[in-house]
Each structure stands twice: as structure tokens, then as C-alpha cells.
Structure 1
Amino acid sequence: MASPSHRRSRPERSRAERRTGRVPVVTLVAVAAVALVVSLVVAFRPDGGSDGGARAVEPAAGAQASGSPKATRTAVSPTPKPTPSTASPSATAGTKATAGATPTGKSGKSGASGSSSGSSAAPAARTASGAAPLAGRIAPGTAYRGVATSYDIGDGNGACSYGPTSDVMTAAMNTADYETSKACGAYVLVRAGSGASITVRITNECPAPCEAGQLDLSRQAFAKLADLSAGRIPITWSLLSPATSDTISIRYKTGSTQYWCGIQAIGHRNPLARLEVRTGAGWTRLARTDYNYFLSEQGTGCGAAIRLTDIYGEQLTVEGLAVRANVVQSTRVQFARH
């Protein structure tokens, strides 16, 4: 309740307070009130205290305090820079043309023409690492430099053992890039310096003096790039994965039985990297010959399921084929296009 003394002049109030002993009491009350107000202001500050909010939250009794808190926001990492491969190129490409020599060998059995000699150079381009993990010397997306010669393909048969064919757009691959028949069945786009181009299928091998990077084309294929009288011309070539409606076929080699067999895949869109047969222990990989058959010397898996793998790693399984020597048996499978 307010007293009249509150309206007194300041000197008169001070004398009355001194006479009655009220000064200490009022002063203490005033100080306490101010302190209370200050404490309430501090308590309701946004940062919650005089420590600026830096004080860590104490763990509950009996709980173990953890280290750094885990962030729930996922930071977007910058795209890592590709690390260049230090491996040697998988194919030797590029050759200097030298006139004079006449190539002979497997593709030369029917009369090869042209010449080859000189040193190898690096490929003109390379694919991204891992594009075809099972590729050998010939990798997709890579342009190779070399020379083209020509030969008479006769009935179309060659080292790949595909047999006679009416397809004249074929070629023999040099021994280095033939790579123990790994190039067999590969489709290759060939370009001449004139700008003309053709697509050929590898069905044969051209040994020395054919050099790395060289293709011995059928005469019909060569004639689409240049006049046959040119003998040899500089080219670039690259692997293709063409469009096709055909499916893969399987052939057992002459003399094959359940005790010994040779198996060949025909008509695959992409180069074949592996051929395996199913056994009681799982899949068994068969060794590849330079005449393009995969052999099971002890008869392991002869007549069982066959698994084909291309250079891109795609696997196709063929089942239900009997061991029928020298008979082409169709399947319903084909590798994907790349």
C-alpha cells in the first residue's frame, strides 16, 4: 500500500527514512528486486545462459558420453577425377607402310598381295577403363592405325574354322592382334584415307610378315576402299558391336564324344572371351586353341550346359545340346549390342 511519504520531496524523505531506520530495508528490497529482474532477463535469453550456449549437454546419469556427433546431412562429394591407367595398351596399332614384301601365311594360302614391315605405334584412342573388362588386344572404342592388303579368300574358310561361306566381306587379322583366335568373329570397321569405309568380319589369321595393326582383306572388301593395284593402303580400324537378328550357334568338333570334345561358338555379335561347361563341381573353363575351338581333353562337361562370356562380361547359358560332331546347332541367345 502506497504511503504519503512517497510523494514527499527528496530531502524530507531522506531525513524521515534516516530517523525511522527504513533506509537499509528499502535499499535491500530494491537491490533484491533489481537482481530478480536481471536474473529473469538472463534466464529467458535465447542463448539460455551466460556461457553463450557453448556449454555441452551433460549425459544422463549412467550414460557414456560419445565423441563427435554424427551428421545427418549427406554432403555431395565432387566428381572424382579419373585416374589414367598406367597399363600398357591392350593392342599394338599403327604401322609404317613399306613397299616390297608380299605377305604370306594363313591368309596368304589363297594368294595374298601387298607388303608389310616396320615398327608398331600406339593406338590413336583409348576406351574408358573397364568398358570391356575381358577385352584382349582389341578394345572397343579404340581406333587402330595400320595397313590393309588383300588376298583371295577362296571358299571363305580360314584359321577361325568357321567353314566355307558366301560372305565375302571378311578379313584376316595379323597374328599379334589375332591373339590365339580371340579376334575370331569380331566385326571391324575399316576406314581408308580417302574416306571410304567398310565393315568386315574376322575369319582368318595373317601371320608374319603381316604386322601388328595390319588387316589382310578379301579382295572384294579391299576393292571398296581402293583399286586392287594399290597393293597396300594406310587405314584405321575399330571394333564394332553391330545390329543383327541372328542368334549364336554351337558346333562340336569332328570326332567329339562324351569322352573328348571340342566346342565352337558361331555368330556371336561381340568377341568371345570364355567358354565354360557345367560339371558336378560347377563351371569349368575350357582352353582355347588357335583354330577357334575350346577343348575338353578328358571329356569334362561334353554334352552338358555351355556358358559363353563376351568381352563386356555378359554371360549366356545354352542347355540341351547333344554332342553331335560337326553339326551346327542353333540357340536362341545373342549378346547385347554395345
Structure 2
Amino acid sequence: MAARSHRSPRRPRRRTALVSVAAVAAVGLAASLVIAFGPDRDTGTEAAGKAGATPAAATTRASAPPSGTPERKKPSATPSKSPSPSASKTTPSATPATEPTKQPTAATGRSGSASGQLAGRIRPGVDYEGVATFYDAGPGGSGACSFGAGDDVMTAAMNTTDYEVSKACGAYVRVRAAGGAAVTVRITNECPSPCRPGQLDLSAEAFAKLAAPSRGEIPITWNLLSPATSGTLSIRYKTGSSQYWCGIQVLGHRNPVARLEVRAGGAWTPLPRTEYNYFLSEQGAGCGGALRITDIYGERLTVEGLTVRPDVVQRTGAQFAAH
């Protein structure tokens, strides 16, 4: 190696026996000084020291963060646990659990934003075309809506399509004939085939307000009303109702009823509606408990304190707002 060869003293050549011991010693001393202070040895040692220290220190800093610095974690975009719904929102999506008690008139009127979701086929602010016929409605217009006898003779039967499994029951409609005559009737019955969509089968008394009975059938237009009334709605449990099974009917409502719910197990549960205009609780859930009634405009009325009294009309003191 170069370093070892520089440290070894050169062996002088034997040219003459006359070289003195002093000359040999001087040459050896000069060679030692040149080797000790030569630039090659110094530069190589310094380079070797710098090349070994710097990468080691850099590797140490890159491989691990300082022990006193905590590792930062990125926040997760997805929550670790989804919030569980409250018990009051366990009703199906059709139930307006998050709707306000009363929708603003502007939102429920002719735009159909709120009423369109609840009204079904008969919507507020829509004029319908059809024909009017008439029949012997009987006392009070009793019929498929199961209202029973009454004093009101201005009634009508709705065609099956627009009757829509009793959704039209209790609705007030304004009927206009081509000549300008008009009459307001309440839907109390269903008119099966051959009645067609748009057709109203009026009571004989109501038809006579529009045209001579001899005409038999006339073209009409009609629309839904929300009439003025001083009365309040009532509740009636069907014959045979008990805490184990019950049918519930709403009477005297200003606006068509869209939904009836019972409170059972801490939640509001909607009941299915029959074609004879009763809401049924087949397993008895909520029978005799609080009721919540929603009209097609989204207004909800809560009725409490009613007991199961079959075939008895029980007044509530509440009524839907006019629109």
C-alpha cells in the first residue's frame, strides 16, 4: 500500500565505500520529513474521514423522526361510527317525521311541492275535466266512505281511479258546468266502472243545480277546495275494535286526510288505509293511544285521550287550517 511504502526508508545503493555514516543519516532524515509532511497522506486521510461521517449522520436523521415528536395521523374522511337514528325516526320513509307541523301556504299551494307528495291524484290548484252523471245517493250520501247517514245532500261519488283506495273520501270539490253553473259537493262514495277518470256521479240534488236531470250527463270541470267551516274533526273506532285490533276513521275534516299514525313503542307508526275509509291496526298497536293525523298539505294534528269506543263518534276540538 502507498502509505506503508512511504513509511519504509529507502535502501541506499552501494556505489562507493567512501560514503560516510553522517551522509547516510542526513539522507534518511530528509526522506522521513518529506513522507511525514507530504500532501497525498494528509488529503487522503481527511477525505476518508469526511466521507464516512456525513452519510451516517444523514441516514440516522432520515430513518427515524426525533423521539420527542409525535407521529401525526391524517383525519379519516369517514366517521368511525355512524350515528344511530333516534326512536322517533323509525317510521318508514313515507312518514314525514322531519316535516314541519304546518307547511307554508306558498309551499303547499299550486306548486305541488308538499301537497304533491301527499295528495295523490287529486291535487290542490288543479282543474280536472270530466263528465257529471247522477244517482240516488240516499240519506246523507252514505256510501263506500262509510260516513253513514247525515243531513248533507250535496254529495258525489268519485270514479275508482281518482277515488284511489278512499283517499278522496271527505274531499270537497267545486263542480262547474259548461254554462257557468257551479256547486260544491263532498265525496262520500265510489263510482265503479263504467265511470271513467275525471267523472263524478253526483247526488240528484247536486246535479239539478247544474242542469236538467233529463240531460243525464254533462261535461264539467272540477277542482279541490279547502272550505270554511266552524266544525272540528272527530274520530270513530270501527265496530269490533278493541286493544287487540282496531279500525280508526277520521270524520269532519276540512282537507283530505293523507295519513293516520298511532304512537306505539315510543314511535309514530302509519296505519294502512282500506277502501272503505278506515285505517287498520291488525295487531292492536296504538289502539286507544295517541293519534297523529296528516292532511294533504302536510299539517299534522295530534289527538290524545281517546279510548276505544266502537262505533261512537268522539269529537277532538281540532281542525286543519284553510288553504
Verify: 1:287 aligned to 2:272, yes or no.
Answer: yes
Query: Which digits, 9 at most, give the CA deviation of each residue in 1:278-313, with x for residues without a partner?
Result: 111310100000000000000000000000000011
1:103 is aligned to none
1:74 is aligned to none
Alignment of 1:61-80 (within 5 A): none
3-state SS of paired residue (1:262): strand
Amino acid at match of 2:148: G
2:120 is aligned to 136
Relative contact order (alpha carbons < 8 A, sep ≥ 6): 1 or 2 greater? Answer: 2
Alpha-carbon distance in 1 for matches of 2:183, 2:201 = 13
What is the root-mean-square deviation in Å for CA atoms of aligned residues? 1.0
Verify: 1:297 aligned to 2:279, yes or no.
Answer: no
Query: Which digits, 9 at most, give the CA deviation of each residue in 1:182-229, with x for residues without a partner?
Result: 000000000000100000000000010000000000000000000000
For 2:173, which of 170, 175, 188 is the aligned residue?
Answer: 188
Structure 1 residue ranges without an equivalent (≥5): 1-125
Alpha-carbon distance in 2 for matches of 1:265, 1:252 = 9
How does the TM-score come out when normalised to structure 2? 0.65
Identify the structure with the greater helix proportion: 2
Alpha-carbon distance in 2 for matches of 1:129, 1:213 = 19
Verify: 1:148 aligned to 2:132, yes or no.
Answer: yes
Alignment of 1:1-338 (within 5 A): 127-132=110-115, 133-155=117-139, 156-338=141-323
> Residues 264 and 285 of structure 2 are in contact (CA less than 8 Å); yes or no, is this contact kept in structure 1?
yes
Amino acid at match of 1:154: G
3-state SS of paired residue (1:337): coil
Query: Which digits, 9 at most, give the CA deviation of each residue in 1:42-63, with x for residues without a partner?
Result: xxxxxxxxxxxxxxxxxxxxxx
Alpha-carbon distance in 2 for matches of 1:277, 1:142 = 31
**Could you tell which deviates more after superposition, 273-282 or 240-249?**
273-282
Alpha-carbon distance in 2 for matches of 1:131, 1:290 = 24
How far 1:127 sits from its partner (Å)? 3.1
- % of aligned pairs identical? 72
How far 1:157 sits from its partner (Å)? 1.0
How far 1:129 sits from its partner (Å)? 3.6
Alpha-carbon distance in 2 for matches of 1:129, 1:245 = 27
3-state SS of paired residue (2:261): strand
How far 1:131 sits from its partner (Å)? 4.9
Query: Which digits, 9 at most, give the CA deviation of each residue in 1:248-294, with x for residues without a partner?
Result: 00000000000000000001100100000011131010000000000
Amino acid at match of 1:140: P
Amino acid at match of 1:277: V
3-state SS of paired residue (2:118): coil
Amino acid at match of 1:305: A
Alpha-carbon distance in 2 for matches of 1:131, 1:172 = 26
Amino acid at match of 2:179: S
Alpha-carbon distance in 1 for matches of 2:298, 2:230 = 21
How does the TM-score come out when normalised to structure 1? 0.62
